[in-house]
Structure 1
Amino acid sequence: MGEGDRQDDLRRRALAYHALPQPGKLRVEPSKPCATQEDLSLAYTPGVAAPVRAIAADPECAYDYTGKGNLVAVISNGTAVLGLGNVGPLAGKPVMEGKALLFKRFADIDAFDIEVDARDAEHLIDVVTAIAPGFGGINLEDIAAPDCFRVESALQERLDIPVFHDDQHGTAVIVGAALQNALEIQGKALASAKVAIVGAGAAGLAIARMLRRLGAGQILLSDKDGVLRRDRRDLSPWHTPFAVAPAGMVLAEMLAGADVVIGVSVRGAIPAEALPGLARNPVIFALANPDPEIDPALVRRLRPDAIIATGRSDLPNQVNNVLGFPFLFRGALDCRARQINEAMLLAAVDGLARLAREPVPDEILAAYGMQECRFGPQYIIPKPLDLRLRHWVADAVAAAGRASGVARR
Structure 2
Amino acid sequence: MNNRKINPQDALDYHSQGRPGKIKVVPTKNTKTQRDLSLAYSPGVAEPCLAIKDNPEDVYKYTAKGNLVAVISNGTAVLGLGDIGPEAGKPVMEGKGVLFKIFADIDVFDIELNAKGVDEFIQVVKALEPTFGGINLEDIKAPECFEIERRLKAELNIPVMHDDQHGTAIISAAALLNALELVNKKIEDVTFVVNGAGAAAIACAKLYVALGARQENILMLDSKGVLNTRRTGLDAMKLEFVRDTPVDTLEDAMRGADVFIGLSKAGVLTQDMVRSMATQPLVFAMANPDPEITWEDAVSARPDVIMATGRSDYPNQVNNVLGFPFIFRGALDVRSRQINEEMKLAAVHALAALTREPVPDMVTMAYGEKNLSFGPQYIIPKPLDPRLLTRVAPAVARAAIESGVARQPIEDWEKYEHELAARLGLDNYIIRVLNNKARKDPRRVVFAEADNVKVLKAAQIVKDEGIAIPILLGNEKKIAQLLLENNIDLKGVPVIDPRSDEMIDKRNHFGELFFEKRQRRGFNIYEARKIMRERNYFGCMMVETGEADALISGLTRNYPDTIRPALEIIGMEEGVKKVAGMYIVLRPQGPLFLADTTVNLNPTAEELADITMLTAKEVRQFNIEPRVAMLSYSNFGSSRTPEAIMVREALQLVKQADPGLIVDGEIQASMAFNKEVLQDSYPFSPLIEGEVNTLIFPNLSAGNIAYNLLMEVGGFEVIGPVLLGLKKPVHILQLGSSVRQICSMVAMAVMDAQVKCTR
Q: Contact 1:199–1:221 at 8 Å: present in 2 too?
A: yes
Deviations 1:227-246 (A, max 9, x none): 11122221112221211241
- Counterpart check, 1:96 vs 2:93: yes
Shift in Å at residue 48 of structure 1? 0.9
Shift in alpha-carbon separation, 1:8–1:106, aligned structure 2, 3 A: closer
Shift in Å at residue 54 of structure 1? 1.6
For 2:267 and 2:84, how far apart are their aligned partners in 1? 20
Larger radius of gyration: 2
Shift in Å at residue 211 of structure 1? 0.6
- Counterpart check, 1:161 vs 2:158: yes
Q: Which runs of no fewer than 5 residues in structure 1 stay unpaired?
A: 1-5
For 1:335 and 1:198, how far apart are their aligned partners in 2? 37
Residue 390 of structure 2 aligns with which residue?
391
Deviations 1:101-156 (A, max 9, x none): 11111111111111112131111111111122100000011111110011011111
Amino acid at match of 2:335: R
Shift in Å at residue 266 of structure 1? 2.2
Amino acid at match of 1:323: L
For 1:308 and 1:11, how far apart are their aligned partners in 2? 31
- Which residues of 2 match residues 131-280 of structure 1 at below 5 A? 131-217=128-214, 218-247=217-246, 249-280=248-279
Deviations 1:280-311 (A, max 9, x none): 22111111222222222222222222111111
Amino acid at match of 2:133: G
Amino acid at match of 1:158: E
- Which residues of 2 match residues 87-126 of structure 1 at below 5 A? 87-126=84-123
Determine what percentage of the aligned residue pairs are the same residue. Answer: 56
Shift in alpha-carbon separation, 1:248–1:302, aligned structure 2, 3 A: closer
Shift in Å at residue 179 of structure 1? 0.6
Residue 287 of structure 1 aligns with which residue?
286
Q: Contact 1:83–1:265 at 8 Å: present in 2 too?
A: no
Deviations 1:85-105 (A, max 9, x none): 222222222221121111111
For 1:129 and 1:252, how far apart are their aligned partners in 2? 45
TM-score (norm 2): 0.52
Q: Contact 1:220–1:245 at 8 Å: present in 2 too?
A: no
- Counterpart check, 1:329 vs 2:328: yes
Shift in alpha-carbon separation, 1:145–1:375, aligned structure 2, 3 A: same
Q: Contact 1:263–1:269 at 8 Å: present in 2 too?
A: no
Candidates 57, 61, 66, aligned match of 1:60: 57
For 1:292 and 1:124, how far apart are their aligned partners in 2? 32
Deviations 1:179-233 (A, max 9, x none): 1101221232212111111111111111111111111131111112221112222
Shift in alpha-carbon separation, 1:178–1:26, aligned structure 2, 3 A: same
Q: Contact 2:196–2:263 at 8 Å: present in 1 too?
A: yes
Residue 3 of structure 1 aligns with which residue?
none
Amino acid at match of 2:170: V
Shift in Å at residue 8 of structure 1? 4.1
Shift in alpha-carbon separation, 1:334–1:20, aligned structure 2, 3 A: same
For 1:232 and 1:39, how far apart are their aligned partners in 2? 67
The worse-fitting range, judged by mean Cα deviation, of 269-278 and 317-326 is: 269-278
For 2:160 and 2:50, how far apart are their aligned partners in 1? 28
Q: Contact 2:272–2:301 at 8 Å: present in 1 too?
A: no
Shift in Å at residue 21 of structure 1? 4.7
Amino acid at match of 1:306: V
Candidates 26, 30, 34, aligned match of 1:29: 26
For 1:19 and 1:284, how far apart are their aligned partners in 2? 40
Q: Contact 1:256–1:279 at 8 Å: present in 2 too?
A: yes
Residue 49 of structure 1 aligns with which residue?
46
Residue 382 of structure 1 aligns with which residue?
381
For 1:166 and 1:47, how far apart are their aligned partners in 2? 39
Amino acid at match of 2:375: G
Q: Contact 1:141–1:165 at 8 Å: present in 2 too?
A: yes
Shift in Å at residue 157 of structure 1? 1.7
Shift in alpha-carbon separation, 1:212–1:366, aligned structure 2, 3 A: same
For 1:324 and 1:158, how far apart are their aligned partners in 2? 24
Amino acid at match of 2:340: N
TM-score (norm 1): 0.94
Secondary structure in 2 matching 1:132: coil
Secondary structure in 2 matching 1:92: helix
For 1:183 and 1:260, how far apart are their aligned partners in 2? 9
Q: Contact 2:100–2:107 at 8 Å: present in 1 too?
A: yes
Secondary structure in 2 matching 1:359: coil
Shift in alpha-carbon separation, 1:86–1:245, aligned structure 2, 3 A: farther
- Counterpart check, 1:72 vs 2:93: no
The worse-fitting range, judged by mean Cα deviation, of 249-258 and 130-139 is: 249-258
For 2:283 and 2:101, how far apart are their aligned partners in 1? 31
Q: Contact 1:83–1:288 at 8 Å: present in 2 too?
A: no
Shift in alpha-carbon separation, 1:304–1:88, aligned structure 2, 3 A: farther
For 1:54 and 1:256, how far apart are their aligned partners in 2? 65
For 1:272 and 1:81, how far apart are their aligned partners in 2? 30
Q: Contact 1:231–1:248 at 8 Å: present in 2 too?
A: no
Q: Contact 2:165–2:204 at 8 Å: present in 1 too?
A: yes
For 1:10 and 1:292, how far apart are their aligned partners in 2? 22
Q: Which runs of no fewer than 5 residues in structure 2 stay unpaired?
A: 409-759
- Which residues of 2 match residues 355-374 of structure 1 at below 5 A? 355-374=354-373
